[in-house]
């Protein structure tokens, strides 16, 4: 019970101190709106194509929202040593990091609903399989947040967190099948697509929104879950190795 009080308060503190701050709320709104506007309206394919673009816009909104904030906040707390407070608390490191990431996961899920709400004004979403899409959104948010954690643990400066984030994020926009199918990529690039969790999350979204997924759900969900476990495990290992010297 005591550990859950700590868990809940770490999450609340992060929401209060970082995610619910006006600049981040506006980031959480403006960023998905900008992506939505850019791809839905300016893609040249008109509003008929909203359903095929929505998975990519959703995925990119979650990816950028979660990785940006988590990587920066964790690095900031490490830099000003307030992270030591958490390391001194009598809770297991795994639970502590889950608490630390849960705020970002929620932020990512909320981010996803901005393009969904906008899409409801532009197209008919009645064919969307929500029971598949909602778990996919949560899984993409978890995987992206853990990618942010992996980045945060790998760097020591806040600016490094941003640049290192982009090292992963920008290739993912092109390689993960967000706005065009992986099959249209040059052959030599295709294997790289399967190295990113976003590929599998986006594929689930494509299936749930317009029924054109590349891999079966029974493969996509376990693979993205595997990526989440791997990224979290490696991050915890790195914290032990690099922060508790």
Tokens of 50: 């909203």
Q: Closer to other proteins at the Cβ: 99 or 182?
A: 99
Establish if 2 lies at the interface with other proteins (CB under 8 A): yes
Point out which span in 10-18, 40-48, 112-120, 188-196 binds other proteins (CB under 8 A): 10-18
By C-beta, is 78 or 206 nearer to other proteins?
Answer: 78
Residue 47 touches other proteins, criterion: CB under 8 A? no
Position among 20, 33, 87, 125 found at the interface with other proteins (CB under 8 A):
87
Rule CB under 8 A: choose which of 42, 44, 85, 187 binds other proteins: 85
Residue 187 contacts other proteins per CB under 8 A: no
Burial of 215 (0-12, 13-18, 19+ CB in 10 A): middle
Pick one of 5, 29, 189, 219: the residue that binds other proteins (CB under 8 A): 5
Binding piece for other proteins, criterion CB under 8 A, among 80-88, 111-119, 138-146, 222-230: 80-88
How many Å apart are CA 120 and CA 206, to the nearest integer? 17
Q: Is 22 in the site for other proteins (CB under 8 A)?
A: no
For residue 108, the minimal CB distance to other proteins (Å) is: 21
Binder to other proteins among 46, 48, 188, 245 (CB under 8 A)? 245
Q: Measured between alpha carbons, how far is 131 from 123 in angstroms, rounded to an integer?
A: 19
Hey, what long-range contacts does 166-173 have (CB within 8 A, 24 or more apart)?
168/67, 168/196, 169/63, 169/64, 169/67, 171/196, 172/63, 172/196, 172/198, 173/60
- Min. distance of Cβ 142 from other proteins in angstroms? 24
Instruction: Work out whether 81 is an interface residue with other proteins (CB under 8 A).
Output: yes
CB distance 70 to 99 below 8 Å: no
Task: List the one residue from 22, 88, 184, 186 that touches other proteins (CB under 8 A).
Answer: 88
Select the span of 60-68, 79-87, 196-204, 225-233 touching other proteins (CB under 8 A).
79-87
Interacting residue with other proteins among 22, 23, 46, 90 (CB under 8 A): 90
Check binding of 219 to other proteins (CB under 8 A).
no
Note whether 86 binds other proteins by CB under 8 A. yes
Which residues of the shown chain bind other proteins in the complex (CB under 8 A)? 1-3, 5-6, 8-10, 13, 16-17, 80-82, 84-93, 244-245
């Amino acid at each position: 019970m005591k550990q859950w009080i700590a868990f809940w308060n770490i999450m609340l503190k992060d929401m209060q101190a970082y995610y619910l701050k006006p600049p981040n709320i506006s980031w959480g709104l403006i960023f998905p709106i900008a992506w939505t506007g850019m791809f839905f309206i300016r893609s040249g394919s008109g509003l008929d194509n909203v359903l095929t673009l929505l998975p990519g816009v959703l995925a990119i909104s979650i990816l950028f929202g979660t990785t940006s904030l988590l990587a920066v906040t964790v690095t900031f707390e490490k830099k000003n040593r307030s992270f030591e407070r958490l390391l001194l608390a009598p809770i297991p490191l795994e639970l502590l990091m889950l608490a630390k990431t849960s705020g970002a996961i929620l932020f990512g899920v909320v981010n996803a609903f901005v393009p969904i709400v906008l899409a409801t004004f532009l197209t008919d979403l009645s064919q969307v399989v929500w029971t598949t899409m909602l778990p996919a959104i949560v899984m993409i948010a978890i995987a992206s947040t853990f990618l942010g954690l992996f980045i945060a643990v790998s760097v020591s400066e806040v600016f490094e967190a941003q640049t290192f984030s982009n090292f992963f994020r920008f290739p993912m926009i092109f390689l993960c099948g967000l706005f065009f199918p992986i099959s249209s990529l040059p052959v030599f690039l295709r294997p790289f697509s399967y190295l990113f969790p976003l590929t599998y999350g986006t594929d689930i979204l494509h299936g749930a929104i317009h029924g054109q997924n590349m891999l079966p759900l029974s493969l996509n969900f376990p693979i993205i879950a595997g990526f989440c476990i791997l990224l979290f495990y490696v991050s915890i290992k790195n914290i032990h190795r690099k922060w508790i010297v």
